[in-house]
Structure 1
Amino acid sequence: MTSTATTATAPSLSTKGVWLTLIVVLLADAMDLIDSTITNVAAPSIVADLGADESVIKWLGAAYALALGSLLVLGGRIGDKFGQRGTFLIGMAGFVAASAAAGVAVSPEMLIGARVAQGVFGAFLIPQGMAIMTATFPKPALQKAFGVFAPMLGVFTVAGPLLGGLLIDANLFGLEWRPVFLINLLLGGFALVMAVKFLPHVPPRPATRIDVFGSVLLVVALFGVLFGLIQGSSDGWGALAIASLAVGAIVFAGFVWRQARTPDPLLPRTLLANRGFTAGLIVGLLVFAGFSGLMYVISLFLQLGLDYSPTQTSLSLIPLTLGIMGGSGIAAALIVKLARRLVVLGLGAMLAGVGLMLVFVTVAGSDLTWWQLAIATLFMGLGAGICFSSIFNTALGDVDAHEAGSASGSLSAVQQVANGIGSALVTSIFLTLLPGGDVGAVSVTLVMLLALLVACLLVVPLLPRTAVAEVE
Structure 2
Amino acid sequence: MTTHPTAVAAHRGRWPALAALLLGEAMNLLDATVVQVAAPAVHADLGGPVGDIQWFAAAYTLPFAVLLITGGRLGDIAGRRRMFLLGVTVFTAASVACALAPAPGPLIAFRAVQGAAAALIVPQTIGLIKAMFKGEETAKALGSIGPVMGLAAVCGPVVGGVLTHADLFGSSWRSAFLVNVPVAVVVLALARNLPEDRAPHRPALDWPGTALAALGTGLLVLPLIGGDLRQLPLRDWLSLLAGLFVLAGFARRQRRTARPLLERSLFTRRGFPAALVTSTAFFAVTNGLTVVVVLQLQLDAGTGVLAAGLSLLPWSAGLALASWWAGSRLVRRYGRRVMPCGLGTLLAGLLAAVAAYRTTAPGHYPLALLPALALVGLGAGLFTPAFFTLALHPLRPHETGSAAGALNAVQQLGATLGVATLGSVYLSGTGGHTPQTACWAAAALLTVAWAASRRVGAEERP
Alignment-derived partner of residue 447 in structure 2: 454
Alignment-derived partner of residue 104 in structure 2: 108
Q: CA offset at residue 368 of structure 1? A: 5.9
Alignment of 1:186-225 (within 5 A): 186-195=182-191, 197-202=192-197, 207-225=202-220
1:220-243 per-residue CA deviation (whole Å, 9 max, x = no partner) reads 111111012226438962344233
Alignment of 1:113-152 (within 5 A): 113-139=109-135, 141-146=137-142, 148-152=144-148
How big is the alpha-carbon RMSD for the aligned residues of Structure 1 and Structure 2? 2.6
Alignment-derived partner of residue 312 in structure 1: 307
| Conservation of the 8 A alpha-carbon contact between 2:289 and 2:422 | yes
2:14 counterpart of 1:21 = no
Gaps (5+ residues) in structure 2? 1-5
2:289 counterpart of 1:294 = yes
Identify which of 309, 324, 334 aligns with 1:329.
324
1:277-304 per-residue CA deviation (whole Å, 9 max, x = no partner) reads 3222222211111111001100111111
Number of aligned residue pairs = 455
Alignment-derived partner of residue 267 in structure 1: 262
Alignment-derived partner of residue 433 in structure 2: 440
1:445-470 per-residue CA deviation (whole Å, 9 max, x = no partner) reads 1122222223433444444435543x
| Conservation of the 8 A alpha-carbon contact between 1:289 and 1:421 | yes
| Conservation of the 8 A alpha-carbon contact between 1:226 and 1:421 | yes
Structure 1 residues 218 and 240: alpha-carbon distance in aligned structure 2, compared to 1, 3 A threshold: same
Structure 1 residues 143 and 272: alpha-carbon distance in aligned structure 2, compared to 1, 3 A threshold: closer
| Distance in 2 (alpha carbons) for counterparts of 1:318 and 1:285 | 24
Alignment of 1:223-234 (within 5 A): 223-230=218-225, 232-233=227-228
2:395 counterpart of 1:393 = no
2:72 counterpart of 1:79 = no
Q: Which moved more, 1:371-380 or 1:272-281?
A: 272-281
| Distance in 2 (alpha carbons) for counterparts of 1:210 and 1:13 | 35
| Distance in 1 (alpha carbons) for counterparts of 2:347 and 2:417 | 20
Task: Give, as a single letter, the amino acid of the residue that structure 1 aligns with 2:50.
Answer: E
Q: Which moved more, 1:127-136 or 1:340-349?
A: 127-136
Q: Which moved more, 1:123-132 or 1:73-82?
A: 123-132
Identify which of 375, 378, 395 aligns with 2:374.
378
Match of 1:178, SS? helix
Q: CA offset at residue 116 of structure 1? A: 0.6
Gaps (5+ residues) in structure 1? 1-9
| Distance in 2 (alpha carbons) for counterparts of 1:462 and 1:202 | 31
| Conservation of the 8 A alpha-carbon contact between 2:76 and 2:202 | no
Q: CA offset at residue 167 of structure 1? A: 0.9
Identity of aligned residues (%): 34
Task: Give, as a single letter, the amino acid of the residue that structure 2 aligns with 1:254.
Answer: G
| Conservation of the 8 A alpha-carbon contact between 1:11 and 1:202 | no
Alignment-derived partner of residue 3 in structure 2: none
| Distance in 1 (alpha carbons) for counterparts of 2:425 and 2:248 | 26
Q: Which moved more, 1:282-291 or 1:125-134?
A: 125-134
| Distance in 2 (alpha carbons) for counterparts of 1:200 and 1:463 | 31
Q: Which moved more, 1:273-282 or 1:56-65?
A: 273-282
Structure 1 residues 100 and 147: alpha-carbon distance in aligned structure 2, compared to 1, 3 A threshold: same
